[in-house]
Amino acid sequence: MNCELCGKKVGKPKRVKVEGSVLQVCEQCASYGKEVLEKKKTDTQERINKIKKGRSRSSRGFGDESKTLVMDFPDKIRKARLENDWTQEELANNLNEKKSVVAKLERSDMRPSDSLREKLEKTLDIILLEEIEKISTSTQHKESGLTIGDLIKEE
Ligand SMILES: [Zn+2]
């Protein structure tokens, strides 16, 4: 096979892109263009990485959205604390939080952050999350009914 640029005989031509067209050239002429194979590989790898990143991000997001804090978390926290025979202060110490934080939670003056909720669940052996579907079934029915109605009207 001959180099498509200089016409010299080459055993192993390189595929390079020179001014927009792909040519099979010798080692020397390869420096005039960009090697094609390598560039393609990089593009594919980048695309795969992007897909992987997107997937893990969206699946994590969905997990968070499908669950919500239970409405009666103040009761759950207080009951679990009393079962352990702890004062608010003792629970706060176990959580590494201030006593006022526990008091606020039990008075429903404050919603726990994700990290605090996880600490409460571990320390008190309770679950403070529930599936959104359980509590908002009626709302969702209403919403989907409206959507279908709107679609029919538009058609
Ligand atoms: Zn050449």
Cα 7 to ligand 1 centre (Å): 6
- The owner of tokens 């001959």 is 2
Residues 127 and 81 occupy one common structural domain: yes
149 domain-assigned? no
Angle between helix axes 99-106 and 73-83 (nearest 10 degrees) is 120
- In terms of domains, do 75 and 123 share one? yes
pTM of the complete model = 0.46
The reported pLDDT for the residue numbered 109 is: 96
Looking at residue 18, its pLDDT comes to 83
Separation of CA 11 and ligand 1 centre (Å): 12
If asked whether residues 28 and 78 sit together in one domain, one would say: no
Cβ neighbors of 143 (< 8 A, separation 6 or more) are: none
pLDDT digits (tens, 9 = 90+) for 104-144: 999 999 999 999 999 999 999 999 998 876 554 444 445 45
Q: Which domain holds residue 106?
A: 67-132
Ligand 1 center to 43 CA (angstroms): 27
Q: Ligand 1 center to residue 40 CA distance, Å?
A: 22
Residues 71 and 119 in one domain: yes
Do 75 and 126 have their domain in common?
A: yes
User: Is residue 91 a part of any domain in this protein?
Assistant: yes
Provide the number of structural domains found in the chain: 2
Residue 54 placed within a domain: no
Could you list which residues have their CB under 5 Å from ion ligand 1?
3, 5-6, 8, 25-26, 29
Q: Is residue 116 part of a domain?
A: yes
pLDDT at residue 55, as a whole number: 57
Indicate whether 118 belongs to any domain.
Answer: yes
Q: Does residue 98 fall inside a structural domain?
A: yes
Asked if residue 26 belongs to a domain, the reply is yes
Compute CA distances 133 → 44, 67, 72, 111, whole Å: 39, 8, 17, 20
DSSP labels, 48-99: HHHHHHHHHHHHHHHHHHTEEE-TTHHHHHHHHHHHTT--HHHHHHHHTS-H
Residue 52 lies in a domain: no
pLDDT (tens digit per residue) in 20-57: 889 999 999 988 888 876 545 566 677 777 766 665 54
pLDDT attached to residue 33: 86
Same domain, 71 and 31: no
CA of 62: how far to CAs of 14, 68, 115, 132, 141, in Å? 47, 12, 18, 12, 20
Q: What pLDDT score was predicted for residue 148?
A: 56
Question: 83 and 28, same structural domain?
Answer: no
Query: What integer pLDDT is reported at residue 59 of this predicted model?
Result: 45
pLDDT tens-place string over residues 62-101: 445 688 999 999 999 999 999 999 999 999 999 999 999 9
Looking at residue 43, its pLDDT comes to: 67
Tell which residue, 112, 110, 86, 88, has the closest CA to residue 99: 88
Report residue 147's pLDDT band, with 50, 70 and 90 as the boundaries.
Answer: low
What is the domain-level CATH number for residue 84? 1.10.260.40
- Ligand 1 mean position to 28 CA, how many Å? 6
Check residue 58 and give its pLDDT: 46
